[in-house]
Amino acid sequence: MRKWESIRDKAIPVLFIILVILIWQLIVDSGIIARYILPSPWDVITVCIAILPEITVHIYTTLQEALTGLLIAITLSVLLAILMDNFTVVKKALQPLLVVSQTIPIMVLAPLFVMWFGFGMLPKVMVVILVCFFPIVVSLLEGLGSLDKDLLNLMKSMKANRWQIFYLAKFPASLGSFFSGLKIAATYSIIGAVIGEWMGGKAGLGVYMTRVRQSFALDKVFASILVIIILSMLLFKLIELIQLLAMPWKRAIK
C-alpha cells in the first residue's frame, strides 16, 4: 500500500508538468501565441541541443562561480552558526544583521559589486555567497538549538565537555535542518551566479542570455533557462545524495 502511495505521490507532479507542456505546445502550434513571442517546448529542446556546444563554456563558468560561492557560504555559515550557538552575545549581535542582509535587493548589490571588484569572477561569487549564506546559517542554527534538553543534561551529568556535546549530540541532531537549508542554497547558487553575470562579464549563462535576448532570439533565451533549471535540479539531487550518505539512520528508517 505504501509503495503505491509513493508511486502516486511521485506521478502526480510529473503528470501535471507533462500536461502543462502539452497545453503550451498546443497553444503555440495553434497560432494563439506567435512563436517569436513564445517558443514551443519542442522548439526550446531542439535549440537547446543545437547550441549545447556553443554554451558549454558558459555552463562551466556559471558552475564554477556557483560551486565556489556555495562552498564558501557553507564554510562561513557553519563557523558562524557554531559561534552563535555557543555565545549568546554573538547571536544577539549578528542575528539582526543577518536579517537585514536579506532585505537589500540583490539586483542593487550586484552592480555595486561589479563597480567595486571589476568584471571578473569575484563579484559573481560574492552574489552567490550572499544568497546562499542566510538559509544555511539559519537552518543550521535552528538545528543546533533543537537538541533534546534531557539528552543535553545527561551528557553534562556525564562530564562531557562542550566539544563532545557538539560532536556527539548537537551536530548529528542538526544535520536534517542543515541539509534542508543547503538544498535551498544549492538551487539559489545557480541563480545567484546568473544574476551576477547579468551585470557584466565575459562568459557565463547570464552573459549568454543577455546577448541572445538583445538579438531577440527568445528560443535561445528559453533554452538557457532550461539549462539553468537542469543544473539547479542536478545540484539539488547531489545534495540529497550527500544527505543520504551523511545520515545513514534516515535510510534505516525508510
* Domain edges within the chain: 1-33, 38-253
pTM of the model: 0.84
**189 closest CA partner among 64, 80, 99:** 64
Cell of 33: 501565441
- Rounded CA-CA distance 24/13 in Å is 16
- Assign domain 38-253 to its CATH architecture: Orthogonal Bundle (1.10)
Tens-place pLDDT, residues 32-73: 888 888 888 888 888 889 888 889 999 999 999 999 999 999
Tens-place pLDDT, residues 225-254: 999 999 999 999 999 898 888 877 666 555
pLDDT for 66: 93
DSSP letter assigned to residue 1:
-
Alpha-carbon Rg of the chain, whole angstroms?
A: 22
pLDDT for 63: 92
Along the 254 residues of the chain, how does pLDDT read in single tens digits?
A: 566 666 666 778 888 888 988 998 898 888 888 888 888 888 888 888 988 888 999 999 999 999 999 999 999 988 988 888 888 888 888 888 888 877 877 777 778 887 888 778 888 888 899 888 888 998 888 888 777 777 777 777 777 777 777 777 788 888 888 898 899 999 889 998 998 888 877 888 888 888 888 888 888 889 999 999 999 999 999 998 988 888 776 665 55
- Rounded CA-CA distance 119/37 in Å is 31
CA 205, chain centre distance (Å): 16
Q: Cell match 505521490: residue? A: 9
pLDDT for 3: 62
